[in-house]
Amino acid sequence: MIAVRIDVDPEAPHPTFYRFLTAVVVPRPIAWVSTRSADGVDNLAPHSFFTVSCVQPPILQFTSVGRKDSLRNVEATREFVINLAPASLFEQINATGTDFPSDVSEFDAVGLTREASTKVTPPRVAESPVALECRLHSTVGLGDSTVVFGRVVHASVDDSVLVDGHPALHLLAPLSRLGRNEWGDPPAVRRIDRIRYADWPDHYRAP
């Protein structure tokens, strides 16, 4: 059976194309971002537009769609923490996406434990096995969204998720975001070594 392709208009009114885009750009890792407001309120929210931007220096990025508390707090204090979003905290992570008023801390509303960070003011999530403490590098405004770049100034990992000193995926058990209200469990893992060009099989080479 031959598939029939359907054209999708990227200029379609919001949220039509947004729903399509987030259903096909999958899975997306989750930055569970903790911040502290200028008034001292601790905020915690999941952001699924998240990735590594630079290796040296280590810079991470997440995108705030609209002007959410995470963005306002980062702009005010220039600090944040990206906590790993583990599958064991699925319901709590989802709950921190609730649109609480800015004077309500998600830590308290959801029942999560604050842990003091080492080099920044916002707290870590004690229940999360990994915390990446960041200072604001820069922001870029794009339409209705803002990309936040943060330089990692300290990293902390629970020894319970290490194997031979290296974080193990099956122990980290990270959640991901999919389309609609769908979430992804930790993925199955396949291993393969990258092939050096010197070892590239002749039948893969272009004529």
Tell me the CATH class for 16-204. Answer: mainly beta
pLDDT of residue 1: 81
CA 61 to chain centre: 8
Q: Which amino acid is at 48?
A: S
**Which of 85, 91, 10 lies closest to 48 in space, CA to CA?**
85
Average pLDDT over residues 181-200: 90
Q: Which positions ≥6 away from 103 have C-beta within 8 Å?
A: 39, 41
pLDDT digits (tens, 9 = 90+) for 129-163: 999 999 999 999 999 999 999 999 999 999 999 99
Query: Residue ranges per domain, the chain?
Result: 16-204
DSSP string over 17-29: HHHHHHHHS--EE
What pTM was estimated for this model as a whole? 0.94
CA distance from start to end of the chain: 32
Helix count and strand count (H, E) for the chain:
5, 14
CA 107 to chain centre: 18
pLDDT digits (tens, 9 = 90+) for 60-119: 999 999 999 999 999 999 999 999 999 999 999 999 999 999 999 999 999 999 999 999
